[in-house]
């Protein structure tokens, strides 16, 4: 059974960098695309970007200048960094398998941007 688990700080200060990691179990990270998706409190869903294990990435143009996604095949993990965060980046961040399939999601982690 495939499982994804997000980890990282729950509180980030404005202008700093948000860093999250997704640990994949039950599947090899070399076998699919892997995505990050976010959901501001009480709002809809936004696809942030995705990565293939070879390092191929694609980022949402709305975030492209601030986001980067990387993969660590030795740890079966992939990570996301979002720089220069503001309160508008407060959201539940999900990692998911696939792009565009999104067939399996992590439980999500709430990241609050506040001083």
Partner 1 sequence: DVVMAQSPLSLPVTLGQPASISCRSSQSLVHSDGNTYLNWFRQRPGQSPRRLISKLSNRDSGVPDRFSGSGSGTDFTLKISRVEAEDVGVYYCMQGTHWPYTFGQGTKLEIK
Nearest approach, Cβ of 5 to partner 1 (angstroms)? 11
Within 55-74, the residues that bind partner 1 by CB under 8 A are 58, 60-62
Q: Which is nearer to partner 1, 21 or 58 (CB)?
A: 58
Peptide bond into 100 cis (omega under 30): yes
Whose CA is closest to 106, among 20, 9, 17, 12?
20
Query: Do the beta carbons of residue 59 and residue 48 sit within 8 Å?
Result: yes
Query: Do the beta carbons of residue 59 and residue 69 sit within 8 Å?
Result: yes
Please report which residue ranges of the chain form alpha helices under DSSP H.
Answer: none
Structure tokens at 87: 């309160």
User: Among 1, 44, 54, 88, which residue interacts with partner 1 (rule: CB under 8 A)?
Assistant: 44
Under DSSP, the state recorded for 113 is: E
Counting contacts by CB under 8 A, is residue 10 touching partner 1?
no
Counting contacts by CB under 8 A, is residue 34 touching partner 1?
no
User: Among 3, 30, 107, 112, which residue interacts with partner 1 (rule: CB under 8 A)?
Assistant: 107
**Selected range binding partner 1 among 14-22, 38-46, 65-73, 76-84, rule: CB under 8 A:** 38-46
| Contacts with partner 1, residue ranges (CB under 8 A) | 44-47, 58, 60-62, 94, 99-103, 105-108
């Amino acid at each position: 059974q495939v499982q994804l688990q997000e980890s990282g700080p729950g509180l980030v200060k404005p202008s700093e960098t948000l860093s999250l990691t997704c640990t994949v179990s039950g599947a090899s990270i070399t076998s699919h695309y892997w995505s990050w998706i976010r959901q501001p409190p009480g709002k809809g869903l936004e696809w942030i970007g995705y990565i293939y294990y070879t390092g191929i990435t694609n980022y949402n143009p709305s975030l492209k200048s601030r986001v980067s996604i990387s993969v660590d095949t030795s740890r079966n993990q992939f990570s996301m960094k979002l720089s220069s965060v503001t309160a508008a980046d407060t959201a539940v961040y999900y990692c998911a398998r696939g792009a565009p399939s999104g067939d399996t999601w992590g439980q999500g982690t709430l990241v609050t941007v506040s001083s």
